[in-house]
Structure 1
Amino acid sequence: MKYNKVTLGFIAAAMMNIGGVLIFSRAFTNSAINQFDPVVMSNFGLLMIVVWGLAYLSAATITSGVKWLAGAFAIEKLVYVVVWLLWFKDNSLGVVYEQDLFAGMFYSIYGLNDFVFMLFFVWVFLTEGKSSKSVASQSIQ
């Protein structure tokens, strides 16, 4: 497999989702994360974040035509960023840190992490396929 920026970006997104959830949730046993957002960050919600990570890892193996998949991933990340920002309206990181260090770290960084990868997925969406279009049009002429 050729490792380029896109492939490595998808792998990094996967590792952040999978590794981040497993570490900060202590393999789904850290109930403090669930307590502070019982809808989005329930154990089911955390499991779905791991599943998204598996989707990113799968996308890393695709050699072409990943543009629209990256676009869908960008929208998914946007949703998590918005949810994270809205979470701050009714919650305090200090209270989370008082209860559990790992939960505090999780809530401190997950939205920033999703924002960075949202930008990556947008970049892939905007740039993927441009060179293949020009190559395809050249071969037709």
Structure 2
Amino acid sequence: MWDRLRLSPEQFKMRAEAMARGAEIPGGEACEGTPGEKISCRAGRSSFWINWRGDMTPCGMMNSPVFSVRELGFDEAWKRTKEATAEIRMPSECASCGMKHVCRVCAAMCVTETGRFDRRPEYICEMTRETVRLTIQEKD
């Protein structure tokens, strides 16, 4: 088991270089089953969206969770929106990604593109890697 935890000199060098650049760490996947981070934007925490039908969602780009202001009243709909939003978790891979501070992924993107809050849209990862690559290339 311990042999699998050790890095070869090449793997160590790759990780160190990636860390120095602030890029994704090669082989730095999240542990399977590790819950992702909570939503980091204001959606469902200090802001909300109410559509023409009176349905409240955490964000205008989300279709769920949804609560009816007309049926529940504003206070109860807002309470339930905050509670439901607190349960949403982003993809676990994003929590351990070395590029998470550069990445523009959000819960609305995840659920819209993949159908789940905890699944990452791969094209966002590709776009972020390319942005980092081009930024480093331009710097050099």
TM-score, structure 1 normalization: 0.26
| The structure with more helix, counted as a fraction of residues | 1
Q: Report 1 or 2 for greater relative contact order, CA contacts < 8 Å, sequence distance ≥ 6.
A: 1
Bigger share in strand: 2
Structure of greater Rg:
2
